Amino acid sequence: MKEVTTSTGDIVPESAIEKSLFTENWHEGVNGLVNQRPLPHGRVPFPAESRTARHLRKTGAVKRHNRQSWFYGALTGAVVAAMAASSCGTGGGSATGPVTTSSQPAPTTPPSATTWQKWGLTPLPAPPKPPADRPVKLSATGTVPVFAHLPTSQKVVFITVDDGAEKDPKFIEMIGDLKIPITMFLMNDTIKSDYGYFKPLQAMGNHIQNHTLHHPVMNTIPLARQKEEVCGDQKILTHQYGTAPLLFRPPYGSYNSDTKTAVGECGPRAIVRWRESMQITTLRYQEADKKLRPGDIILTHFRGPKELKGTTMTEMFGNLLKRIQKQGFTVARLEDYIQPPTG
């Protein structure tokens, strides 16, 4: 009997899975590829990574913004200098070499209403103090867990930003102004054209996590290939950003038991999926009532006007913040609720 993986990580017979929409929609707005027809959860409407590679070649995503590298290097230095002056504590690093530390600075003052207005937004509630007893505790050994939300009663959600194709300097400015915490799941194929772009975001306290080398559908490739994808990205991200990723996100949300093995052997200690995904102006839900819940993990991407039908990265992100605020939630840092392995 054929089995599939549910959104909660359970392995069940395929016949037990109700038809539902696949929510990542990584190709929406690109070459007319849209993932909106009913599919068994976790399936992919296109068979292999070749279409992902074709998308990257057609859009030139891995080649864009090289001419702006000078900007990111200067911005990284400015961010690090500012945090050092305010005793936030970060190692910084240049835009071309690996950083040496990953201490996570906390903003000293919240952004003003005027700063929010600059981006066409009203202020979100301040995030609560991170729990002293983090609700998710990871182990250094054993099978890695899979989760799409974190257990908490606080009205917080967590924003994760995938891939890394779009490298908009205005997004760095927006995150610096608004002090919104994000977690970046970076894929080497899309970031290798400019590793330095993501360093100012990291210097603000945002973590960089593993998202494979080439964005394959993990449960369609053998264990050896899965290990190459996870271990390869782990090695590059550790070198470039100074800290080994703790978390792994499988492309398209698809994984199997071999994925868990590969992740565990390559270094990350958990697989992270999502409950909602942001698509330009629409927040798509996996739950029928279309409501956020405390601890939900939200998926969005580093995308630009070519992928967003003319919408910019900052406009899409602003739309996401409006959807979160409308339901009375604020944004917290995912890693503040996860306890890394000790010892």
pLDDT at residue 64 tops 60: no
Ranges 58-67, 114-123, 321-330: which has the least confidence: 58-67
pLDDT (0 to 100) of residue 109 = 86
Q: What is the mean pLDDT of residues 334-341?
A: 97
Q: How confident is the model at residue 2 (pLDDT cuts 50, 70, 90)?
A: very low
pLDDT (0 to 100) of residue 342 = 85
Greatest alpha-carbon span in the chain = 62
Ranges 55-59, 163-167, 242-246, 265-269: which has the least confidence: 55-59
**Angstrom distance (rounded) from CA 43 to CA 304:** 26
Using one digit for the tens of pLDDT, what is the confidence trace for 207-229? 999 999 999 999 999 999 999 99
User: Is-above-0.85 flag for pTM?
Assistant: no
pLDDT at residue 88 tops 50: no
Ranges 13-22, 52-61, 86-95, 268-277: which has the least confidence: 86-95
14 is written with which tokens? 């395929």
| 258, 222 contact by CB (below 8 A) | yes
Handedness of CA 343, 237, 178, 316 (dihedral sign): negative
pLDDT (0 to 100) of residue 318 = 98
Dihedral angle computed from the Cα positions of residues 198, 87, 101 and 171, in that order, rounded to the nearest 10 degrees: -10
Question: Is the model more confident about 28 or about 258?
Answer: 258
Q: What is the mean pLDDT of residues 118-138?
A: 96
Residues in the chain: 343
Of the chain, the percentage scoring pLDDT greater than 90 comes to 68
Q: What is the mean pLDDT of residues 31-47?
A: 34
The set of residues, in sequence order, having a beta carbon less than 8 Å from that of 61 and lying 6+ positions away, is: 55, 165, 166, 190
pLDDT (0 to 100) of residue 92 = 30
Q: What is the mean pLDDT of the chain?
A: 79
Q: What is the mean pLDDT of residues 30-52?
A: 35
